[in-house]
Amino acid sequence: MIIKPLPEESKILNALLEKADLKRSVFHYTIDAFQLIKKEVREVTEWIKLQIEKKGKQIDVHYKENGEFELEIKFAGDTLFFIMHTNVFTFSPEHFIFKTNYVKEDPTRAFCGTILIYNFLSDSIKFNRMNDVGYLLGRIFINKEGHYFMQGKRQYSFLHRDFSSLIFNEEAVRDIVEIAITQAVDFDLFVPPIENIQEISLIDKINSVGSQAIRTGKRLGFDLDLHEKDSDLSMLLE
């Protein structure tokens, strides 16, 4: 017996196939972008190590991959993590990209993969200080055509913003990585306000030793994304 599909069933199937193809395309572009980041970070790590050796200095610098979707670069007191999210996202209707002709011409261009850049203190990882915090320096959004833009702190808040013209390539990656390293090096650890550390529970003290009982992290001193309202930052998981 041949089952004839109803008109609505055909629409559902077509929508499902189109969305699946779209997400697959975005995912593959994001994977390719992350491979470019891995290559660039490896090269930057080797270059930094070589320059340090030439100057006769001893500074711990290394590159490490933590699975397929995460890498880290450690340089002295800082560690940067580049993390690829495996899901595909779009944005709230109020987001600035929906005001661009590029997305108006094809709304599916708004669907993006995401790569996040975090800065942690190297000692937080070395001493397994689970209460310590890291900070998001920026996040990269890449669509089905390899176009991208960024949200983030300082240079990331005004550079890498033109979604319609920016293509994720080696030149873009080098600039993004160099900015991340520079930001991490430029912002030092602040002494926490005494009000934040004047109380500690006994269980925290028993479970921790010395400084491990104190929550530590950089205070970068500026806001995420000067160009966007809070409502613009909300993302809708598809």
Question: What is the rounded distance in angstroms from the CA atom of residue 150 to the CA atom of residue 152?
Answer: 7
User: Does 113 map to a domain?
Assistant: yes
Q: How far apart are CA 24 and CA 86, in angstroms?
A: 11
Q: What is the DSSP code (8-state) at residue 68?
A: T
Q: Is residue 174 part of a domain?
A: yes
Give pTM, 2 decimals. Answer: 0.80
Could you list the residue range(s) of the whole structural domain that residue 48 is in?
Answer: 7-237
Number of domains in the chain: 1
Q: Per residue of the chain (238 residues), what is the pLDDT tens digit?
A: 566 665 666 788 888 888 999 999 999 999 999 999 999 999 999 999 999 999 988 888 999 999 999 999 999 889 999 999 999 999 999 999 999 999 999 999 999 999 999 999 998 888 888 778 888 999 999 999 999 999 987 788 778 889 999 999 999 999 999 999 999 988 765 555 666 556 666 666 566 555 454 555 555 433 444 444 433 433 333 3
- Asked if residue 1 is part of any domain, the answer here is no
Q: Is 121 helix (H, G, I), strand (E, B) or coil?
A: strand
- Is the distance from CB of 189 to CB of 221 less than 8 angstroms? no
